[in-house]
Amino acid sequence: MTTYFQAYGTFAALLVLSIAFVAVAFGANRLLRPNRPTPGKLTTYESGMDPVGTTWSQTQIRYYVFAFLFVIFDVESVFLFPWALVFADIGVAAFWEMVVFIGVLAIGLLYAFKKGVLRWA
């Protein structure tokens, strides 16, 4: 019981420490550095070239499907963790449960493949 919160207490202490580190580093930077802005210094740095266009560059809608595929299989992988822990206990039933689950999602992947959304070009 206490060990649970103690373990995460260490984590919380580390989190606070790292936030404090960043805050102190950037705060000291802001206090110590000279501040003389010129228009040239304030433009976007693009490796020496003059920046072209606005900062808002629109990506293609095609990439959205890739992002959503990632989300779907992220959700699937999350359910695999508890399954892997109880698989030995429950046995064959758990195996088929997961086969159905992954099989249904595999249909979606197959559909995406058939419709050609997985082709990059």
* Gyration radius from the chain CA atoms: 25
Asked whether 108 and 72 are in contact (CB, 8 A), the reply is yes
Q: How far apart are CA 12 and CA 5, in angstroms?
A: 10
Stretch that binds another protein, among 19-27, 31-39, 41-49, 87-95 (CB under 8 A): 87-95
Binding to another protein (CB under 8 A): which residues in 25-84?
A: 56, 58-65, 67-72, 74-76, 78-79, 81-83
Asked whether 106 and 76 are in contact (CB, 8 A), the reply is no
For binding to another protein (CB under 8 A), which residues are involved? 1, 4-5, 8-9, 12, 56, 58-65, 67-72, 74-76, 78-79, 81-83, 85-86, 89-90, 93-94, 97, 100-102, 104-105, 107-108, 111-112, 115, 117
